[in-house]
Amino acid sequence: MVYGFSGPAGYDALIEALRTALIAAREGDMLREEEMTEQIRDASYEMEPRQAGYLVRSACGAIDAAMRAFDRESGLALAEQAIENVKDILWRSQSVPSVA
């Protein structure tokens, strides 16, 4: 599966993809989780605003880290918070008028 998250139309798909990767991590499906986060991370480099792309990559890293965390529940909670940060910046970017 290849992801494209450009523009507001792709934001819901992005959040859903991150949550699905988190579910894979929670279930211990390392192969699926790593494949998903790699593809999401690759697609994030084309995102606007750039800060959103950075937060997406950070969320992917948090999901990856949750798979290897000694305290898995804390790792998963941090990953959930990282996904909420992505959702927040995407929501805020939609409410800011663009400068032409």
Domain ranges (residues) in the chain: 8-94
| Confidence category of residue 3, pLDDT binned at 50, 70, 90 | low
- Report which of residues 61 and 47 the model is more confident about: 61
Q: What is the pLDDT of residue 2?
A: 46
C-alpha to C-alpha distance for 94 and 16, rounded to whole angstroms: 18
Phi and psi for 29 in degrees, rounded to 5?
Answer: -85, 80
The answer to whether residue 100 scores a pLDDT higher than 50 is: no
Q: What is the pLDDT of residue 97?
A: 55
| Lowest mean pLDDT segment, chosen from 33-37, 54-58, 66-70 | 66-70
Element (DSSP H or E) covering residue 90 = helix 72-95
* Mean pLDDT value across residues 46-68: 92
